[in-house]
Structure 1
């Protein structure tokens, strides 16, 4: 891959929690080298309020997030993607659209914080734990010498990060 700006898509089924958190984190941590997007195979149409509270807890903007369909990113005129990561097991098992540009892909599965049953503080903690785990993975990816790795090595490295 050449030295350039990278587009990355985080995919989850509902696009209301994990993929939203990953989008916000990558846009902040990627420092302009990356533009992150998120989408879902079956978007809920809303962003989970705990995801927005967690973004605020991280000091990130909570504006502009919405639940989107992954087909939007396979349509003509959509951003050419360099990376596509699934962040939930359900989306990883689905047949994905054909992404223009044949992006590097990996599965970075995370437990669904939206599925946590308990008090409001317990639910918020689940979202914060998920965000911290995603942040670690994103930081590991950003530490890779992306522009000097061949495609196969890069593919292997991002898959390995998802297994951590």
Structure 2
């Protein structure tokens, strides 16, 4: 609580709760000098609240993101230490009348997995779709495999589609999962800077662990997205 209570660090955490950001974007968002923002980013990283990942599109850039699991655990511990009745229970709020579009480049790995996971976690209450700026001809076999083996979700009939295919629809939230799409085709409601798991190795067998890693991170982010979709007004006020 002491780490998060600093006004600037709290402002930075708040910005990163909405989207993964680069340092210069954080600087603009909080209105403080870059050296000061960088200092407090180091503090947040040392506490395990924030992590960083190099952009898969432009290696000179890096995206900072919240470690949602670590943040949740830390705040739960603080609440429980203050009073047992304050211990929060995540995942109870279920969204309705909300819509989300996930975007990446090929619509063959990250975005179809995100679409499937959100539909699964929301019990179909969220209207969700995915698309790609340059869609592939099929969903990657490893995406099909990890969804089936880890979550019991069948993606075999999923067909990648282009952004143009969903251009006639409106969505409450547009989330980019690919640095290239985010940096070339903006704006979006939020950005989750995730690596392309298919680029992790030369063979499907070798890249499968990266698909597991990306799917796990997507599932974590989506579980924390659900309360945001359920209470959008409260989230904006916070």
Q: TM-score when scaled to structure 2?
A: 0.54
- Structure 2 Cα separation of the partners of residues 94 and 74 of structure 1: 17
1:86-143 deviations in Å (ceiling 9; x for gaps): 001011012358xxxxxx7100110110001156443111101100000000001113
Measured at CA, do residues 126 and 145 of structure 1 come closer, stay the same or move farther in structure 2, by a change above 3 Å? closer
Q: Is 1:72 the counterpart of 2:165 in the alignment?
A: yes
The number of residues matched between the two structures is 143
Which residue, 15, 40, 52 being the options, matches 2:132? 40
Q: Which has the larger radius of gyration?
A: 2
Query: 8 Å contact 2:131–2:160 — kept in the other structure?
Result: yes
1:60-109 CA-to-partner distances (Å, cap 9, x unmatched) read 1224311100112112xx3x311110001011012358xxxxxx710011
Residue in 2 aligned with 1:53?
145
- 1:93 aligned onto 2:183: yes
Aligned mates of 1:28, 1:44 — CA distance in 2: 23
Alignment of 1:1-164 (within 5 A): 4-57=96-149, 58-75=151-168, 78=169, 80-96=170-186, 105-117=189-201, 120-144=204-228, 146-147=230-231, 149=233, 153=236
1:12–1:86 Cα contact (<8 Å) kept: yes
**SS at the partner of 1:128?**
helix
CA distance in 2, matches of 1:133, 1:148: 22
Question: 1:45/1:146 Cα in 2 relative to 1: closer, same or farther (>3 Å)?
Answer: same
TM-score (norm 1): 0.77
Q: Which has the higher contact order (CA 8 A, sep 6+)?
A: 1
Supply the distance in 1 between the matched residues of 2:219 and 2:132 (Cα, whole angstroms).
Answer: 20
Unaligned runs of 5+ in 1: 98-103, 158-164
